[in-house]
A and B are shown apart, each in its own frame.
Chain A
Amino acid sequence: DAEITQSPRHKITETGRQVTLACHQTWNHNNMFWYRQDLGHGLRLIHYSYGVQDTNKGEVSDGYSVSRSNTEDLPLTLESAASSQTSVYFCASSDGTDYEQYFGPGTRLTVT
């Protein structure tokens, strides 16, 4: 069955370190997204991609970057982790037909 996976599921890192969160989907979807979810906020869009070599900034993109070298993967990089980036991160994908997004299981990131 097609799926979307994220790794690691939990990560603890120190302030200032570079961190990369992986997202892999086997739906063959062109569109992929990264969100963060914090208490008191809805899901907030960090970056998204419509296809290979395409990336776009979302609502809360500062301090994050993505690259899309193939259809299946959209890794999210925190260039220099900050405590404010402690959050749960969700990756999602969609095929653009009715825009339903399929979400991964999430990565809980703690920056100490």
Chain B
Amino acid sequence: KNQVEQSPQSLIILEGKNCTLQCNYTVSPFSNLRWYKQDTGRGPVSLTIMTFSENTKSNGRYTATLDADTKQSSLHITASQLSDSASYICVVRRYGGSQGNLIFGKGTKLSVKP
């Protein structure tokens, strides 16, 4: 069964600290993996996309990694800011799947405290 599991469900950190969010998937065949950030009361916004051949990709203070062999991805946030408080959603696309065939994780809710 194609699934995307994220951990932890929620996380509280102090401003300035680093954190890492995990995404494990069983989607096959794999096409790509996206991390979205969803602020409270808003729609998700794409942070980064990882394809099969990519191991690491950075977007400012956000760094995503992908291990296609173990089917794991992580999102590392460096020097967290209050504005990083949001839900982070991992989304995997099946290769050859239709536009509608995305598998969404349930998200990790991150709270950054001053």
Residue among A33, A90, A99 with the highest chain B CB neighbour number at 10 A: A99
B11 is an interface residue with CB less than 8 A from chain A:
no
Of all chain A residues, the one with the shortest Cβ separation from B46 is: A100
Contact of A50 among B89, B93, B99 (CB under 8 A): B99
Instruction: Tell me the bound Cα distance from A45 to B34 in angstroms.
Output: 17
Instruction: Tell me the bound Cα distance from A101 to B93 in angstroms.
Output: 12
The reply to whether B43 and A33 contact each other, CB–CB distance below 8 Å, is no
Asked, given contacts A43-B104, A94-B99, A96-B99, whether A106 binds B4 with beta carbons under 8 Å apart, the answer is no
Instruction: Tell me the bound Cα distance from A45 to B93 in angstroms.
Output: 13
Enumerate chain B residues within 8 angstroms of A40, measured Cβ to Cβ. Answer: 106
Asked, given contacts A42-B4, A42-B89, whether A48 binds B43 with beta carbons under 8 Å apart, the answer is no
The bracket for how many chain A residues form the interface is 20 to 34
Enumerate chain B residues within 8 angstroms of A48, measured Cβ to Cβ. Answer: 99-100
Within 8 A of B (CB), among A33-50: 33, 40-45, 48, 50
Chain B count of residues within 8 A CB distance of the other chain: 20
* Contact residues of A: prevailing secondary structure: loop
| B97 smallest CB distance to A (angstroms) | 9
Task: Report how many A-B pairs have Cβ atoms within 8 Å.
Answer: 49
Asked, given contacts A42-B107, A94-B99, whether A99 binds B41 with beta carbons under 8 Å apart, the answer is no
A31 is an interface residue with CB less than 8 A from chain B:
yes
The reply to whether A100 and B105 contact each other, CB–CB distance below 8 Å, is no
Enumerate chain B residues within 8 angstroms of A16, measured Cβ to Cβ. Answer: none
Of all chain A residues, the one with the shortest Cβ separation from B31 is: A99
B interface residues, Cβ below 8 angstroms from A: 4, 32, 34, 41-46, 49, 89, 93, 98-100, 102, 104-107
Q: Assuming A44-B104, A48-B100, A99-B102, what are 14 further A-B pairs, CB within 8 angstroms?
A: A33-B99, A33-B100, A42-B4, A42-B105, A42-B107, A43-B89, A45-B100, A90-B43, A92-B43, A96-B99, A98-B32, A100-B34, A100-B46, A103-B45
A interface residues, Cβ below 8 angstroms from B: 31, 33, 40-45, 48, 50, 56, 58, 90, 92, 94, 96, 98-101, 103-106
